[in-house]
Chain A
Amino acid sequence: QKEVEQDPGPLSVPEGAIVSLNCTYSNSAFQYFMWYRQYSRKGPELLMYTYSSGNKEDGRFTAQVDKSSKYISLFIRDSQPSDSATYLCAMSGNTDKLIFGTGTRLQVFP
């Protein structure tokens, strides 16, 4: 079993939809949680960063962490075609080593 599980998609939604992206994990020591967005032929770009459980909002993006369920989510409101990319979850514990999900490919069509 992988430490971090993420549905690879692809996920195809119409413009304006609310998108929900999720990851589950098995290591209860994880306490730092990140979402990255990766466009084709580019490196991962940090979208959201949270520590421990709770919600964090930044514009159209909301990150949720439920440590009791070992489950994290990223919500994208009013999705745009420019949001079409691969979304990677990542997490770490008390070291700098990041463990990544495989990424979910999202396509937002006009």
Chain B
Amino acid sequence: SAVISQKPSRDICQRGTSLTIQCQVDSQVTMMFWYRQQPGQSLTLIATANQGSEATYESGFVIDKFPISRPNLTFSTLTVSNMSPEDSSIYLCSVNTGLGQPQHFGDGTRLSIL
């Protein structure tokens, strides 16, 4: 399976600032996904990122708050904008190789907002 690297692995940020999380894959993949994992809750899909097109956001998530870039088939970024304490969470990147195929995850970015 693909090896997925996320940076940073953790960060502590001030309220009102923005942070960009990077996701690098060791092979070309069509689909990349961004999830949020809050304590005691399910992983929740934020958006799906396809190369060469706008990201598709799930209900409750908007581009202004979580802009996503997908410049090529091995890389994506997620920005968490104008952060508040409610954004404290683990953010995870995943990839798959096609519809119905299982997703593989990076180790996540642990984000705390003061």
Q: From B11-19, B64-72, B75-83, B102-110, give the one contacting chain A.
A: B102-110
B40 CB–A CB distance under 8 Å: yes
> A101's closest neighbor in chain B, by CB?
B42
Which one of A8, A44, A49, A94 has the greatest number of beta carbons of chain B within 10 Å?
A44
* A: number of interface residues (CB 8 Å): 28
Residues of B with C-beta under 8 A to A98: 33, 43, 45, 103
- Between A and B, how many residue pairs show CB distances below 8 Å? 57
* B: number of interface residues (CB 8 Å): 24
A102 CB–B CB distance under 8 Å: yes
> A45's closest neighbor in chain B, by CB?
B105
A108 CB–B CB distance under 8 Å: no
Chain B residues with CB under 8 Å of chain A are: 1, 4, 31, 33, 40-45, 48, 58, 92, 96, 99-100, 102-108, 110
Instruction: Report, nearest first, the 6 A-B pairs whose CB atoms are least far apart.
Output: A43-B105, A100-B42, A43-B107, A100-B43, A49-B102, A44-B105
